[in-house]
Amino acid sequence: MKLIARSMHETGNHQYASYVLETNRIKWAIVSPYLSEFQHPEQKFPHPNFSGTYVKDWVAKHGSGVAVIGIRVTNATEAYEKSTGVGEPDQDQFAKGRTPPTELKDNLGAIIFSEIFIYGDTILRFIEYKGYTGPYIPGYEAVTDPNPLDYGVYRMDHVVGNVPELIPVVEKVKKWLGFHVFAEFSQEEIQTEWTSLNSKVMANNYETVLLPLNEPAKKKRESQITEFLKAYNGPGVQHIAMFTPEILASIDLISKVSNEGGFELIPTPKEYYEDEMVKTIMKENLTPDAEELVKKYGILIDKDAEGVLLQIFTKPLFDRPTIFVEIIQRICNGEVVDKPGCGGFGKGNFRALFQSIERLQQARGMLLEEKQ
């Protein structure tokens, strides 16, 4: 990714430092409060209800993680009012608001944004652009990165949340956002000898925004979802899946910097590539050279009625076993296209992935017996 914008003391923001990273259609904003007792007489920070104490407490509780998921909408006011039930009598059935519709503007234009809590302490931000041409949002200063990087990762394919109970959150997302169940997987489909989970993929009407949700399911040992909920102290974003049209090239570049502070990839056992279904999918959809590279990097492969999915996962990004990243490529009807959900979500890979994660859990001493 490359650095494109910042907000800090030098831009008049005396509450927090924030840097925005971008690669193609992906933007990540990293935020840290100053937490100084000194209060500057002139405050010009972009987020109108920012609280350094709130962020400090959030990080103390969850560690580094995803506090806000941003979704572009045509009307941030309408999105907020519908999701929070403005004017509705049964307010407790709707989302809790974080930030009411607010306009931010500078000499580059304006945006309107609003925020709700979607699960746990995770915020969903609705962003409406009003002719804004800046790098991120008003109040941020554009930055020219002296060493910009681009590994071919194109957009966020889906953002996955872990919750203690799946159905209540699914019903809320349906009611608050008008989303529907795009795909679902039961514990019988997603299990190993030791652990399991249930999962539903929530999608907007256009099926361009995908928000899968996972819950732990009872098995002999506590699953990765239970470990996450314990380490994170509640529900939260488990991983971000990022789409690339050339996964072999992207993973080659990522692998080269993995020993220099980059992502560490979860290793895939060689036995995975001896599975007859895996061998068939690779033979029918990959060249021999591509097959060798898939094995070299430990990339998983699966298919559904529409196409083929190639995917690989990183280890947790930070010290807590919480958030990680997935890199994926989707091949639909023989063509590499940017179509959300094509090729599925790696249903056929869940067992191999779970076994790899269980080995990491075991190394942490966290593959614990499930309490009855």
pLDDT 10s digits, 184-194: 887 776 666 76
* pLDDT tens digit sequence for 71-81: 999 999 999 99
Q: Cα–Cα distance between 121 and 123 in angstroms, integer?
A: 6
Predicted confidence (pLDDT) per residue in 224-269, tens digit: 889 999 999 999 999 999 999 999 999 999 988 877 777 889 888 8
Q: What is the mean pLDDT of residues 301-307?
A: 84
**3-class DSSP state of 303:** strand
| Predicted local distance difference test score (pLDDT) of residue 33 | 94
Strand partners, 311: 300, 328
The Cα 331–Cα 344 span in angstroms is 10
Pairwise CA distance, residues 197 & 216, whole Å: 5
Looking at residues 145-169, what average pLDDT do you find?
A: 95
Q: Residue 348 CB: number of other CB atoms within 10 A?
A: 18
Same fold, 2-142 and 155-364: yes
Domain boundaries, the chain: 2-142, 155-364
Tell which residue, 236, 242, 212, has the closest CA to residue 27: 242
Round to whole Å and give the CA distance between 352 and 270: 11
**What is the pLDDT at residue 340?**
67
CB 149 within 8 A of CB 142: no
Closest CA to 100 of 121, 118, 79, 119: 79
Long-range contacts of 266-275 (CB under 8 A, 24+ apart): 266/298, 266/312, 266/313, 266/314, 266/315, 266/353, 266/356, 266/357, 266/360, 267/298, 267/356, 268/298, 268/299, 268/300, 268/312, 268/352, 268/356, 269/352, 269/355, 269/356, 270/295, 272/300, 272/352
Say what the pLDDT of residue 99 is: 96
Superfamily of chain region 155-364:
2,3-Dihydroxybiphenyl 1,2-Dioxygenase, domain 1 (3.10.180.10)
Tell me if residue 224 falls in helix, strand or coil.
helix
Share of the chain above pLDDT 90, in %: 66
Position 347 confidence tier, pLDDT thresholds 50, 70, 90:
low
Q: What is the percentage of the chain residues whose pLDDT exceeds 70? A: 92
Identify the pLDDT of residue 348: 64
Higher pLDDT, 197 or 241: 241
* CATH 3.10.180.10 is the classification of domain 2-142: yes
Query: How confident is the model over 50-67, as a mean pLDDT?
Result: 95
CA distance 178 to 85: 13
What is residue 185's predicted lDDT score, i.e. its pLDDT? 82
- For residue 364, CA distances in Å to 47, 225, 261 come to 38, 15, 21
Give the lowest-confidence range in 38-47, 99-108, 159-168: 38-47
Please compute the mean of the pLDDT values over residues 138-150 and round it to a whole number: 95
Residue 351 in this model has a pLDDT that exceeds 80: no
- Give the integer Cα–Cα distance in Å for 197 and 188: 9
Report pLDDT for 372.
57
What are 361's two structure tokens? 């859990």
Task: Supply the DSSP symbol for 306.
Answer: S
Return the pLDDT at 337.
Answer: 67
Residue type (1 letter), 225? I
Q: Which residue has the higher pLDDT, 142 or 357?
A: 142
What is the structure's pLDDT at 98? 96
Q: How confident is the model at residue 354 (pLDDT cuts 50, 70, 90)?
A: low
Mean pLDDT for 278-297 is 93
pLDDT at 349: 66
- CA–CA distance, 285 with 303 (Å, rounded to integer): 10
Q: Which has the closest alpha carbon to 71: 111, 105, 17, 30?
A: 111
pLDDT digits (tens, 9 = 90+) for 17-58: 999 999 999 999 999 999 888 888 887 889 988 999 999 999
| Cα 372 to Cα 55, 220, 221, 307, 362, distances in angstroms | 36, 10, 11, 40, 20
Of 100-114, 227-241, 296-310, the range with the lowest mean pLDDT is 296-310
What is the pTM (predicted TM-score) of this model?
Answer: 0.91
- Residues β-bridged to residue 16: 33
Sign of the Cα pseudo-torsion (99, 105, 106, 109, in order)? positive
Mean pLDDT calculated for residue range 56-61: 96
Determine the pLDDT at residue 271: 85
State whether residue 82 is helix, strand or coil.
helix
The CA dihedral of 240, 241, 243, 246, to the nearest 10 degrees, is 110
To the nearest whole number, what is the mean pLDDT of the chain? 90
Local structure of 201: helix, strand or coil: strand
Half-sphere exposure (Cβ direction) of 10: Cα atoms closer than 13 Å:
7
